[in-house]
């Protein structure tokens, strides 16, 4: 099935043609998966093999502002700089807009402000596509349900399906070939004492996209066969840990899940390794600190940067260990 068929299904064959407001605005936070999405059952629709679960970083994300352009092409401004229309970023954005344009002749001026590095494994595409979908929903007054917005965001980038909400979000893998049952669902847990700290080793664009890395893993990793079982166990343990607020269980499971994901990549051919020497050094520092009794864990996505997981009461000890850590607010702290 094609992406355009999913879009047509959501709009019952009638995609609105006219902008209803002068401006469309959309903000979406980035999200960090505690139980990862790695591998697609449908590469066209970004349908995952497994469900996944994330926590949003509410102040880290993308703000998209849309207005109609008077030129017969898009203008894309990312963090106050105009982007070349033949760049990968512009081409992906344009291809996504084409899904809603069909044969209509509107073009947009797209202003995106992101306060996270682009394509460095910090889920910039998740917040980017989710904010673009929200801004389109506003400009054209689609009035779509959030489940549908989540499905549309997924067509841009898989993990964007989870970026429509703050807090903990589960993205259901679904079983339908059209993916109409594969969208995010906010989970009613709050955990104001939970902290995430970003350890940036490199803000450079990743050497291999998550799209390509996932495909290589699915096609060549011997370990990938055991990934769905690992995810289904971790997902239920994480939900149980959220229920009883067991931090060591939550964060330990998240760390183990991330390492298992990276193990599937390392066992792919050609091998995929997002670790830098600094990443491994930081992991050892975390493990040593844990041996000394500090409740400190990490997770890592498709990039060399680590996201530390710890409790608010340990903030000073974590900062002493990693003075460069950027601590992110997750909930309205009490
Ligand atoms: O949505 P994508 O294609 O950028 O893939 C995201 C993959 C991971 O960040 C590694 C895991 C996840 O669940 O976010």
Q: How far apart are CA 205 and CA 116, in angstroms?
A: 12
**Residue 177 belongs to domain with CATH number:** 3.30.230.10
pLDDT in tens, 105-124: 899 999 999 998 665 556 67
Q: Identify the pLDDT of residue 202.
A: 85
Neighbour count for residue 66 (Cβ, 10 Å): 24
CA of 204 to the centre of ligand 1 (A): 17
Question: Which pTM was predicted?
Answer: 0.96
User: Within 6 Å (CB) of ligand 1, which residues are found?
Assistant: 33, 36-37, 52, 123, 125-126, 157-159, 210-211, 301-302
Q: Taking residues 216-236, what's their average pLDDT?
A: 97
Do 293 and 221 belong together in one domain? yes
Which atom number of ligand 1 is nearest to the Cα of residue 31? 14
Q: Identify the pLDDT of residue 334.
A: 46
Tally of CA atoms within 13 A in the half-sphere of 220 that contains its CB: 14
Tokens, residue 263: 């193990």
Measure CA 53 to chain center: 10
CA of 279 to the centre of ligand 1 (A): 18
**Residue 223: pLDDT band with limits 50, 70, 90:** very high
Do 227 and 79 belong together in one domain? no
- 187 and 2 in contact (C-beta within 8 Å)? no
Do 239 and 304 belong together in one domain? yes
Which of 238, 229, 214, 218 is CA-nearest to residue 159? 214
Do 16 and 93 belong together in one domain? yes
**Whether pLDDT at 302 is above 60:** yes
pLDDT in tens, 4-58: 999 999 999 999 889 999 999 999 999 999 999 999 999 999 999 999 999 999 9
Do 118 and 266 belong together in one domain? no
pLDDT above 90: percentage of residues in the chain = 89
* Structural domain harbouring 259: 194-328
CB burial of residue 80 (10 Å; 0-12, 13-18, 19+): exposed
CA of 186 to the centre of ligand 1 (A): 18
Q: What's the whole-number average pLDDT of the chain?
A: 95
Which atom number of ligand 1 is nearest to the Cα of residue 32? 14
Count of structural domains within the chain:
2
Q: Identify the pLDDT of residue 333.
A: 56
Which atom number of ligand 1 is nearest to the Cα of residue 121? 9
Q: Which of 35, 50, 123, 304 for mutating ligand 1's site (highest number of atoms within 8 Å of CB)? A: 123
């Amino acid at each position: 099935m094609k992406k355009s068929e999913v879009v047509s299904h959501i709009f019952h064959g009638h995609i609105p043609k006219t902008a209803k407001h002068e401006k469309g605005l959309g903000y979406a936070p980035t999200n960090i998966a505690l139980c990862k999405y790695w591998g697609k059952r449908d590469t066209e629709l970004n349908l995952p093999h497994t469900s996944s679960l994330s926590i949003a970083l509410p102040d880290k994300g993308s703000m998209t502002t849309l207005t109609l352009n008077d030129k017969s092409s898009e203008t894309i401004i990312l963090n106050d700089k105009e982007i070349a229309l033949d760049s990968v970023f512009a081409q992906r954005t344009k291809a996504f807009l084409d899904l809603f344009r069909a044969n209509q002749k509107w073009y947009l001026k797209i202003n995106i402000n992101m306060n996270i590095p682009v394509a460095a494994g910090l889920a910039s595409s998740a917040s980017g596509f989710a904010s673009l979908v929200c801004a389109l929903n506003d400009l054209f007054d689609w009035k779509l349900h959030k489940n549908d917005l989540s499905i549309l965001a997924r067509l841009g980038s898989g993990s964007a399906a989870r970026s429509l909400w703050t807090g903990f979000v589960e993205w259901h893998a679904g079983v339908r070939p059209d993916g109409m049952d594969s969208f995010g669902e906010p989970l009613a847990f709050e955990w104001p004492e939970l902290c995430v700290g970003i350890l940036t080793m490199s803000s450079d664009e990743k050497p291999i996209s998550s799209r390509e890395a996932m495909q290589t893993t699915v096609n060549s990793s011997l370990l990938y066969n055991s990934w769905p079982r690992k995810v289904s166990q971790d997902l239920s343990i994480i939900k149980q840990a959220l229920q009883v607020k067991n931090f060591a269980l939550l964060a330990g499971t998240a760390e183990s899940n991330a390492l298992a994901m990276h193990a599937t990549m390392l066992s792919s051919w050609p091998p995929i390794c997002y670790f830098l020497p600094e990443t491994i050094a930081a992991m050892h520092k975390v493990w040593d600190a844990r041996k000394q009794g500090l409740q400190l864990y990490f997770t890592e996505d498709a990039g060399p940067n680590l996201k530390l997981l710890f409790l608010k009461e340990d903030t000073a000890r974590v900062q002493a260990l990693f003075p460069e850590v950027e601590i992110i607010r997750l909930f309205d702290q009490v």
